[in-house]
Structure formats: C-alpha cells, structure tokens
Structure 1
Amino acid sequence: MNHTTLNFKMLTLERNPFGATVAIHPTLLWDDNGATLVDVGYPGQLKELTTAVEQTGVLLKHIKRIIFTHQDWDHIGNVTDIQNALGNKAEIYTHVNERDYIEGVIPYIKMTPERVQARLQSLPENIREQAAGLFTNIPTAHVYKTFEDKDVLSFHDNVQVIHTPGHTPGHMCLYLQQHRLLIAGDQLRIQDGILVGPAPEHTADMRVALQSLRKLQEYDIDYVICYHGGLYGPQAAVRIAKLIAEYQ
C-alpha cells in the first residue's frame, strides 16, 4: 500500500490550564491516507490545538487517528474535546501496556490520590481549586488498537513503534524512517538547548527508562521531536550515544 510521502509538523501549544506559558509539542502526521495526531495536549487546549493543526493546511476534521505516546495528562487531557469535535470518529492507538490506564480500567500511575495531593500542594494557593477540578476529571477513552515494540504503522509508510518503558509502563516513541526523525514523547527532553533523558521526578521507573534509551541506538536518528523542548538536531544520534554513555 503506497500512501506517498509522509508529511509531519511539530505543533506548539503554549498555554497550559493554569495560565502559565509552558510549551508542549504534539506532532501531526499526514499523507494521502489522512492525518494522525501524536498526543493532544492538556484539557482545555482544543482551540489552540485546532489553530496549530490548521496552520499546516490540514483541517481538524481530517484527523482520522490519535496516537498516545503514553498516559500522562498533558498528553491525553484534551482527548474528550477532540473526540467531541470529530464526532467520536478518531481511532485511538497506544502501546498495549497503556491501554488499561487510558480506558480507565486502572488509575493513571501519576494520578493516585497521594500524588494528586502532593501536586496540588506544590502549586500556588490561588490555582489549587482550579487544579483540583482538572485533576479529578482526567479523561479516559476507548482504545481502538494497541501496538507492541517494533510494530510498523499500517496507515503511514515506514513509521515504527519503539517501546521505551520506564517513564510509564507503555511509553513509546515513533521513528519516521523517511525523515530520520524520532518522536520521543517524554523519553527525551531539551534543557537549555541540550538533549537530555526523561525527567526523574516524573518518571515511574528511572532505571528502566535509562535502559530504554539504549534501544534508540538501533536507529539512524538525525532529528528528535521532544514533547518538552521541541526539535533537536541534526546529528541527534551522536548526542543520544553520548547521553547513554553518561548514564552508564
């Protein structure tokens, strides 16, 4: 099946639910087989997301699929509003180890009552009530299909799933072979212009997450889209190798 050249665009959403300007970066993929959105942002970001998508020339209604790199609420929080806008027509995909969390069968790892309380206490007092409302309404969604490590997408050419557990059990990256590009989710971040590993304070199992970094050596990665930090490259593979050595 030939879907022609796969286009991609890193999106930038700048306003989080608490009014702070903290950029996050979903990714839009599209070709003759329609559009796929990788991660969807915080609750309440539908308008901003729609604007970012449509600036690429793709209409929101052209989105056929949503892929979640993992379960965290800054990646999935906007899904109910998007599904409502699309008439519940978008198919949702994620790694098999994330399915039960996203479907609400078991609580999100980082949204246990203890963790929510700790997070609320860390916020300024004037926004705690608003935050508490958001935290108690983290959406769930029906997962259409799950992936496993090294699966290749059936709907876009030469895109491979890389299971990178640790940040969450089913965290995954996507490798776009045509573009030598890694969509890294939270497996990699950019801090002060430097590519670094996952944030320890937000990672469920840092030891496993660092082991997952080594998987990335198998791929010819020139550029990386980090959900937190944006685009890194060229020669990202060189930095990834150094990063792995630093964590030994």
Structure 2
Amino acid sequence: MNRLISLNIDFISGTGNKDFIYPVIIQSDKENILIDCSTSGSLPLLEKEAKKNNFDLSNLTKIIITHHDHDHMGGLYEIKGKYPHIQVVSSLIEKPYIEGTKKSLRLEQAEKIYPTLSEAEKINAEYFHHILKSIKHVPVDITIDGDKELDWCGGIKIIATPGHMPGHISIYSREFKTLITGDAMVAQKGELFIANPQYTLDMKEAIKSIEKFLDYDIQQIVCYHGGLVKGDITSILKKLLK
C-alpha cells in the first residue's frame, strides 16, 4: 500500500529554542523515501515517530535532502551509520555542501553577519556556528540537475526551487497530489508564508520558485516548518505572490 506520512519531530533550533519540523516519508512497494532528516542526534526521534505510523526506518531505500541546512541533513551521518543501504539524493548544486567539500553557505552567512551583532546576540551566534561546524558529512549517491521526473513512489517530480539556498529542491508527489516544500515556504497554523527573508539567500529567486508551483495540481502542501496546509492551493499561492 502506497502512503505519504508526515512526521512531527521536535528539535533545538540554531538559537537554542525548541521547535518542530515535518520530514515526510513516501512509501510504496519498491521505494520508501524520507525527505529531509532533522538534526544530529535525532535518529531515535525519527524511528519512534515512524513506528507510530507503522513504518520501520530500516525499510527506507532513499533519503532526499532538499538543501544542506543543519536541520535538514544533520541526522544523515547517524542514519547512514545504522542503515548503510539507504541512498542519499540531492541536487547537483547541494552535493558538495552535503559531502563537506565546500563550506556551508549558512555558515558563511552567519560569519558575515557576526561582526554586526551585539555582545548578547553573539552568544547565540557562536552556538549556531558550533552547530554548523559540527555537522558530519556523507557522500551523495544520486544527484539531480534541475527539474526531473522520477518513477519512484507512484511518480514524483523534483522541482528546482532556488532562493532559500541556490540548490534547494522541492518534491511533488503525483499520486498524492502533494507538494513537499522543504524551506521554499513555511506554514503557521495552516497558513502559508514565503520563507523567512533572514534565512533566504536570494529572495527574488525564492519568489520565482514559488511561482513554479502554480503549474502543478496540488491538493495539499507539507512545509518542513509548519506542517500540512490544505484548501484551494492555487488560490492560496496566487494570494501569497501578490
């Protein structure tokens, strides 16, 4: 039986505050795919939440990483250590950051901002720097360059959605008519918002990326930050882009 499962995972943000994220599992007979995998140390939480939904994480075949922010790929190293058969999938642009051959763009951004902060703000910033520097990297097995149709899990479309990060991708499930946005958008109490400009490296590109979603028959959206949004998605997106 094919299923789409939205997990609810709590994590500690870069400022040290507790927050919630929503990784997604798309399950089918041939492939079981996790989209994004939370922070370092989150594997027990992922396993527990998956079991609540009658899914064993050992049955995963692939993990798609939407981009290299720590709360999306920090848990990869532990997952691959316990389940080495799982293949890691990312965009071609994000690959060197996930593998650690290029310095994190988020760390570059944080270090650039650091001198402008107050002494009190620098304490949280140093904590965030430490988190980013402590990420353990893993090889990427499959890279996607641009938009691509794949026959995995009833048919998915990888959508290049730069803006938040240059290599950011979103995933559209054709079977479930569901868009998994990564950080291209966020949600709060069921309402959609454009990603926070503070963490979006190119806001103009981010808006262009959201415009691409209008080409799809979307019945629901899962935002990594904020979870599920339902309704007249086309109208919601058009209103957001005004």
Question: TM-score if structure 2 supplies the norm length?
Answer: 0.90
Secondary structure of 1:152's aligned partner: strand
Q: Which residue matches 1:32?
A: 29
1:215 to 209, 212, 216: 212
The answer to whether the 8 A contact 2:171-2:181 is kept is yes
Q: Which residue matches 2:96?
A: 100
Q: Which residue matches 1:75?
A: 72
**Stretches of structure 2 lacking an aligned partner (at least 5 in a row):** none
Kindly state the Cα deviation for residue 220 of structure 1 after the two structures are TM-superposed: 0.9
**Stretches of structure 1 lacking an aligned partner (at least 5 in a row):** none
Kindly state the Cα deviation for residue 99 of structure 1 after the two structures are TM-superposed: 1.1
The answer to whether the 8 A contact 2:12-2:18 is kept is yes
Q: Which residue matches 1:147?
A: 144
2:199 to 179, 202, 212: 202
Q: Which residue matches 1:225?
A: 222
Secondary structure of 1:22's aligned partner: strand
Q: Which residue matches 1:58?
A: 55
What amino acid is the match of 1:106?
K
**Identity across matched positions, percent:** 27
Kindly state the Cα deviation for residue 115 of structure 1 after the two structures are TM-superposed: 4.8
The answer to whether the 8 A contact 1:148-1:161 is kept is no
What amino acid is the match of 2:89?
Y
What amino acid is the match of 1:108?
S
The answer to whether the 8 A contact 2:165-2:201 is kept is yes
Q: Which residue matches 1:157?
A: 154
What amino acid is the match of 2:106?
K
Aligned-residue CA RMSD in angstroms? 2.3
- Whole-Å separation in 1 of the counterparts to 2:165 and 2:8: 23
Kindly state the Cα deviation for residue 241 of structure 1 after the two structures are TM-superposed: 1.5
The answer to whether the 8 A contact 2:66-2:169 is kept is yes
Secondary structure of 1:195's aligned partner: strand
Secondary structure of 1:179's aligned partner: coil
What amino acid is the match of 1:6?
N
Name the count of aligned residue pairs: 239
The answer to whether the 8 A contact 1:72-1:110 is kept is yes
* Pairing of 1:182-201 with structure 2 (within 5 A): 182-201=179-198
Kindly state the Cα deviation for residue 211 of structure 1 after the two structures are TM-superposed: 1.1
Question: TM-score if structure 1 supplies the norm length?
Answer: 0.88
Secondary structure of 1:156's aligned partner: helix
Relative distance call for 1:173 and 1:71 in structure 2 (3 A) is: same
Aligned: 1:9 with 2:5: yes
Kindly state the Cα deviation for residue 151 of structure 1 after the two structures are TM-superposed: 1.1
Relative distance call for 1:98 and 1:13 in structure 2 (3 A) is: same
1:84-142 alpha-carbon deviations (Å, 9 max, x no partner)? 111x22100011111111111211111127158579967695x7776554332112211
- Whole-Å separation in 2 of the counterparts to 1:207 and 1:100: 24
Kindly state the Cα deviation for residue 66 of structure 1 after the two structures are TM-superposed: 0.6
